[in-house]
Structure 1
Amino acid sequence: MNDRPDTRVKATATSVRVLERVLELGTAPLTEIAREFDLSKSSVHNHLQTLERLGLVVKEDRTYRVSLRFLEIGTSVRASVPFYRTGRAEVDRLSNGSGLAAGLAVLERDEVICLYGTGGQRTGTLSVESGQRLPLHASAPGKAILAELSESRLDDVLDTVEYEQFTPETLADESALRDQLDQVRTRGVAADRKEWQTEASGLAAGFSDSSLVGSIFVASDDGSLSGKQFQQDIPGLLVSAANKVRQEMRRQ
């Protein structure tokens, strides 16, 4: 239970909600943006004007969209993550060598965020994009990250998991998930067998230091990630890549 007082500034919180609404809609006029708010159109308009002056929203004719300044912000933030440069190089190497989609993920505020993702030549429609949130309990990157946490930290994070049933194969039970995490720690690699997306499978290896936890992963939706490749070849490459990232984190 969180007993900390709510210290949010109302106006700031509302501006963020307005910004999120614009992001959700893509491009929209004031009337549509204001529709789901318990506020007057003039009040929502004032928030949009403030966001526009700050360069966070762009007004074109009578519609609004989120500005490309977020690309600048996101790129700068991502580059500041200590393992990003080494991790990205390892992701590219994995994807080019295996033909599979691959990516780099990090734990932030109890959520798994894809820092960098790239498609593979052998995958079909599967795509994990930079900035995408991945499920902790149902994706290989999420489970690899969970396996890196201390017991007390793991307890805290699992308290936030809602165990959404993405597919019939999804682990929707904490006890079963904990059993699987024990296997991940022994093997060094986490697996997702059609648990997140119906036709997709994935593998991931985690790494951590005192403050950051991440994972490097591969995924496929065309059945190519199977057999010896699933059991031996790719796991070995993932563990090696994770070790290189871990070494770079320690060096820094």
Structure 2
Amino acid sequence: MAEGERTATRGGVKSSLRTLEILELLASDDERRSIAEIARELGIPRSSLHGLMHTMADRGWLQTDASGTRYGLGIRSLLAGTSYIETDDVVALSGSALDRIADRTGETVHLGRLDGADVVYLAKRESVHPLRMYSAVGRRLPAHATALGKVLLARTEPARLDALLGRGPLVALTPETIVDRARLDEELDRIRTDGYAVDRGENSLGITCFAVALAGDGSLNAVSCSLPDARLDAGHRAEIVAALADGAREIDTLLGRRGR
């Protein structure tokens, strides 16, 4: 390969990486960002971003606000994410089980997946009550601050946990979030013993969430049920944990028949 061809190849890879970094940054929260902010957060020269950002906006992967200066994800990003969910076996096969959990508990139900140090909501069933937690399919949260994430971290090998979380303080979403790794490790030990995880206001104050992991080897998926503390009592807690365990077994059975 000639030197010019090698340079072009490297440049193409760099542009691809930068495109992915931009999409991942803008997908990490609900904030729109200016080119200057994106350049600063990603460590990319502003001069290198202008053409790339405009191209992504022209193709619909990004969109701007009314001022034309602040960027967020565009409709093609939504279509790509929707296509992923619609073609995912776990999501497709979990629908009836999620419905049954929601019917039994009357509360908000999620299917989530571990993605690095985060958990991502892949499916949701709404609570029958007007007072409920805020969430949306595609939302990403730190795994250590959610029941969904903790029940999946409890299935992760120690070396992998250290690589994902490090040994230093973890980010706090509320004053109740476990930010000390030693405390989190103790919590994960309890989860392994109990078979389910509990998030006690660690993600949203006043909201308790329970989660059970799917049982397949290497599964990165779990189901959860969330409700305001005002509706939680011992009987409801037992019913929620039982409904989640039954739902997880149902999904595992269907995935086993499909051959995962």
Match of 1:11 in 2: 15
Tell me how far apart the structure 2 counterparts of residues 138 and 131 of structure 1 sit (CA, whole Å): 17
Structure with a larger share of its residues in helix: 2
Match of 2:135 in 1: 128
Indicate which of 45, 57, 64 corresponds to 2:62. 57
1:132-151 Cα deviation digits (max 9, x unpaired): 11222221111111122344
Match of 1:35 in 2: 36
**Paired residue type of 2:209:** G
Number of residue-to-residue matches in the alignment? 238
Structure 1, unmatched stretches of 5+, are: 1-6, 27-31
Q: TM (normalized to structure 2)?
A: 0.77
Tell me how far apart the structure 2 counterparts of residues 19 and 143 of structure 1 sit (CA, whole Å): 26
Task: Quote the offset at 1:45 in angstroms.
Answer: 3.8
- Structure 1 residues 209 and 34, CA, compared in 2 at 3 Å: closer, same or farther? same
Task: Report if the CA contact (8 A) 2:114-2:143 is conserved.
Answer: no
- Structure 1 residues 102 and 66, CA, compared in 2 at 3 Å: closer, same or farther? same
Tell me how far apart the structure 1 counterparts of residues 215 and 168 of structure 2 sit (CA, whole Å): 21
Note if 1:94 corresponds to 2:95: no
Tell me how far apart the structure 2 counterparts of residues 166 and 52 of structure 1 sit (CA, whole Å): 32
Secondary structure, in 3 states, of the residue corresponding to 2:251? helix
Task: Quote the offset at 1:114 in angstroms.
Answer: 0.8
Secondary structure, in 3 states, of the residue corresponding to 1:242? helix
- Structure 1 residues 219 and 161, CA, compared in 2 at 3 Å: closer, same or farther? farther
Note if 1:236 corresponds to 2:242: yes
Secondary structure, in 3 states, of the residue corresponding to 2:145? coil
Task: Report if the CA contact (8 A) 1:18-1:44 is conserved.
Answer: no
Task: Quote the offset at 1:163 in angstroms.
Answer: 1.8
Secondary structure, in 3 states, of the residue corresponding to 2:230? coil
1:180-225 Cα deviation digits (max 9, x unpaired): 2222222211111122211110100011434431110010125213
**Paired residue type of 1:12:** S
Tell me how far apart the structure 2 counterparts of residues 91 and 75 of structure 1 sit (CA, whole Å): 19
**Paired residue type of 1:33:** S
**Pairing 1:57-206 to 2, within 5 Å after superposition:** 57=62, 63=68, 66-122=73-129, 124-159=131-166, 162-206=169-213
Task: Report if the CA contact (8 A) 2:110-2:124 is conserved.
Answer: yes
1:107-137 Cα deviation digits (max 9, x unpaired): 1233211111232022525122111112222
Tell me how far apart the structure 1 counterparts of residues 169 and 80 of structure 2 sit (CA, whole Å): 30
Secondary structure, in 3 states, of the residue corresponding to 1:83? helix
Tell me how far apart the structure 1 counterparts of residues 66 and 199 of structure 2 sit (CA, whole Å): 46
- Structure 1 residues 167 and 152, CA, compared in 2 at 3 Å: closer, same or farther? same
Note if 1:217 corresponds to 2:220: no
1:51-104 Cα deviation digits (max 9, x unpaired): 145442357997366332222211221233331122233222222332211100
Tell me how far apart the structure 1 counterparts of residues 198 and 66 of structure 2 sit (CA, whole Å): 49
The alignment yields a C-alpha RMSD, in angstroms, of: 3.0
Structure 2, unmatched stretches of 5+, are: 1-9, 40-44
Secondary structure, in 3 states, of the residue corresponding to 2:143? coil
